[in-house]
Amino acid sequence: MKNIKKAIIPAAGLGTRFLPVTKAMPKEMLPIVDKPTIEYIVEEAIDSGIEDIIIVTGKGKRAIEDHFDNSFELEETLIRKEKFELLEKIKKSAEVEIHYIRQKEALGLGHAIWCARKFIGDEPFAVLLGDDIIHSEKPGLSQLISEYEKNRASIIGVKYVPSEETHRYGIIDYKEKSGRKFLVKNFVEKPEQGTAPSNMAIIGRYILTPQIFDFLGKQKKGAGGEIQLTDAIQELNKIQSVYAYEIDGARYDVGEKLGFIQTTIELALTRDDLREPLTKYLYELLSNIEKMHVK
Ligand code: UTP
């Protein structure tokens, strides 16, 4: 079996939890400090050894293609003004080939992955969701790739979530656990509150074998009336072992409002240029919060 060199980043969703801003702006382009969300994800893929990325886009997502396009005028200006640090920043994504395919209708995450099948062909591949950032020492995807290489079976990134949040995620039911790795029995997409088989939630990083496309092609609509990737993985699990791995690091869901605000604050606090003034501001804000008359 081949090594993992190709990745799909689905970014064609409607982003309804973030309306009205997502009417004309892709949620994957929401800035976290000074970088769009999707650029953090592309960088994680590059740092994990991915060579080719296909971004699944849709209506109103042109800004993503424009962002990763070359910008000769801007580059020339930065060179002329000797702003080499900024030049570095805008060129990092050029280390990987980025391709695009359109999902004509937002029929669900499973359908978005299916749209990229010809690009993937017959090899195992990675999926990184376009609105999930993982902040960790070793890149999240690279942790999954290391585990994948041990037994070359599909493996899904998971993270512990409290019981009151399990209904928002795909949840695993597992047969065995060894360290951070689980042998999965079942996958359940968004279980009703109180029915989740565990607290381990799928968090937007996957390594999948190409057999997943056999199931995605005939997958019926599932939770929320969408073609769900989790349902196809559940089918795949009937013919091949599928593992889950608890990724070490902080995971941020930029696709919902509170998650976006938390991501912005926490990632700003990791930056040398912002840590001190932001910490000072947060202390002042918290010590005055009772006195504020915000309605
Ligand atoms: P989400 O379910 O978080 O995205 O999908 P959404 O549907 O855009 O969000 P809400 O619920 O309406 O607010 C996770 C990832 O899968 C992509 C999204 O763009 C996001 O990056 N996706 C989802 C697709 O590419 N196509 C789809 O049909 C659905």
Per-residue pLDDT reduced to its tens digit, 269-290: 999 999 999 999 999 999 888 7
- Judgement on whether residues 62 and 140 belong to the same structural domain of the protein: yes
User: Are 170 and 284 within one domain?
Assistant: no
Asked whether residue 56 falls in the same domain as residue 98, the answer is yes
pLDDT tens digits for range 11-57: 999 999 999 999 989 999 999 999 999 999 999 999 999 999 999 99
For the chain, the domain total comes to 2
- Closest C-alpha among 199, 63, 45, 65 to residue 134: 45
Nearest CA-CA partner of 204 in 148, 264, 144: 144
Same domain, 175 and 32: yes
Per-residue model confidence as pLDDT tens digits over 83-104: 888 888 777 777 788 999 999 9
3-state helix, strand, coil in the chain (%, to 5): 45, 25, 35
- How many angstroms separate the CA atoms of 229 and 215, rounded? 9
Pocket test for ligand 1, best of 14, 42, 230 (most atoms within 8 A of CB): 14
* 251 and 263 belong to one structural domain: no
Residue 293 pLDDT class (50, 70, 90 cuts): low
Give yes or no: residues 242 and 185 share one domain.
yes
34 and 164 assigned to the same domain: yes
pTM: 0.93
List, chain by chain if needed, residues with CB within 6 Å of any ligand 1 atom: 10-18, 28, 56, 103, 106-109, 111-112, 129-131, 255
* Whether residue 265 sits in one domain with residue 138: no
Q: Could you tell me which of 11, 31, 21 has the C-alpha nearest to residue 263?
A: 31
| Token couple for 92 | 């990092």
1 inside domain: no
Give the domain range for residue 100. Answer: 6-255
Residue nearest to atom 3 of ligand 1 (CA): 255
Q: How remote is the CA of residue 136 from the centroid of ligand 1, in Å?
A: 23
If you measure from the C-alpha of residue 16 to the centroid of ligand 1, how many angstroms do you get, rounded to a whole number?
9
